[in-house]
Amino acid sequence: MRPPNVSNAAANQGLVLESFGDRLNVAVVGAAGGLGRAFADDLDGCEAVAALHAFSRSNSGGRTEKLAWQRLDLEDEASIADAAALAKRESGELHLVIVATGILHDGAQLQPEKSWRSISGPAMETAFRVNTIGPALVAKHFLPLLATDSKSVFAALSARVGSIEDNELGGWHAYRASKAALNMVIKTLSIELARRNARAICVGLHPGTVDSALSKPFQGGVPEGKLFQPAHAARALLMVLDGLSPGDSGGLFAWDGTRIPF
Ligand SMILES: NC(=O)c1ccc[n+]([C@@H]2O[C@H](COP(=O)([O-])OP(=O)(O)OC[C@H]3O[C@@H](n4cnc5c(N)ncnc54)[C@H](OP(=O)(O)O)[C@@H]3O)[C@@H](O)[C@H]2O)c1
């Protein structure tokens, strides 16, 4: 991949996606979340984007000439199928699909575990339903919509803590395991995708530590300057996606363009 060129200043300038061409149809799943909204805002402001499909479980943002919101709940496959059908009906094909959903805590059973003593079956099921199974079902319905005659990308937000090789601290059993499983889903999808659509790319993304509802309870130990604003992280990741080629498919990429080992 080409190294991304992003700075805080660049995030204030209009988004340019050089490698994708123009008249782009894009979709953001989880568009009401911290990162999801930042992706949607940046893509909405991008001149090359012709249609933006924003999907979220809550907070519909309505409709403009370019932007259409629709409900999508990862735990309701029919809502995912409906969302894909709408995108197909209105746009035909998609050039970029970003899945920006995810869960780390739910204010109830699911809390990052400090010890194996805290492992809970129901909490782990919640993490897997949202972090692993949901994005897999989105892929099932949206990968067939990826454009075949130009670059197209399916990207799901994963996390560095889902890397088995990178795990030196332990803890966070459910979140780590659900993201490691997501990384395997992405790798496996990429193999089938390469057979069906040679120009398409399927990757996982790590945004860094980003100021959002997901990270809020855990921001205390984040070193100075290492907590990114969602707009900055989203722009950095869009620049990473712009630099990807089919040979990168199946990988997990950080906000700075580095490939994270599984
Ligand atoms: N923030 C970080 O520091 C960080 C670091 C590494 C990786 N990530 C990853 O980045 C992604 C985005 O995180 P974020 O920081 O933007 O968190 P966030 O602000 O909490 O957004 C997460 C979004 O996921 C949506 N979601 C949860 N369950 C859903 C379901 N069943 N159906 C549809 N949508 C659902 C939520 O929808 P509602 O609005 O309806 O609740 C919310 O909008 C996640 O995958 C996360 O693991 C984040």
pLDDT computed for residue 9 by the predictor: 45
Please tell me the residue having the least CA distance from ligand 1 atom 46: 102
Average pLDDT across the chain, whole number:
94
Query: Which mutation among 210, 227, 240 tests ligand 1's pocket best, with the greatest number of atoms within 8 A of CB?
Result: 210
Listed in sequence order, the residues at least 6 apart from 259 whose beta carbon sits closer than 8 Å to its beta carbon are 248, 251, 252, 253
Other Cβ atoms within 10 Å of 232 Cβ, number: 22
Q: What is the mean pLDDT of residues 87-107?
A: 97
66 C-alpha to ligand 1 centroid (Å): 24
DSSP-based three-state secondary structure for 66: coil
| 73 CB within 6 A, ligand 1 | yes
Closest ligand 1 atom number to CA of residue 156: 45
149 C-alpha to ligand 1 centroid (Å): 31
DSSP-based three-state secondary structure for 153: strand
| 204 CB within 6 A, ligand 1 | no
Residue 227 C-beta-side C-alpha neighbours within 13 Å? 14
Q: What is the mean pLDDT of residues 145-162?
A: 97
Other Cβ atoms within 10 Å of 43 Cβ, number: 26
pLDDT computed for residue 62 by the predictor: 79
| 207 CB within 6 A, ligand 1 | yes
- Give, as one character, the DSSP assignment of residue 247: G
pLDDT computed for residue 63 by the predictor: 85
Whole-structure pTM value: 0.96
195 C-alpha to ligand 1 centroid (Å): 30
Rounded alpha-carbon distances, angstroms, from residue 212 to 208, 226, 254: 12, 14, 17
Q: What is the mean pLDDT of residues 131-149?
A: 98
* Per-residue pLDDT tens over the stretch 181-223: 999 999 999 999 999 999 999 999 999 999 999 999 999 889 8
Q: 191 near 241, Cβ under 8 Å?
A: no
Q: Which DSSP helix (H) or strand (E) runs through 132?
A: none
Predicted confidence band of residue 235 (pLDDT cuts 50, 70, 90): very high
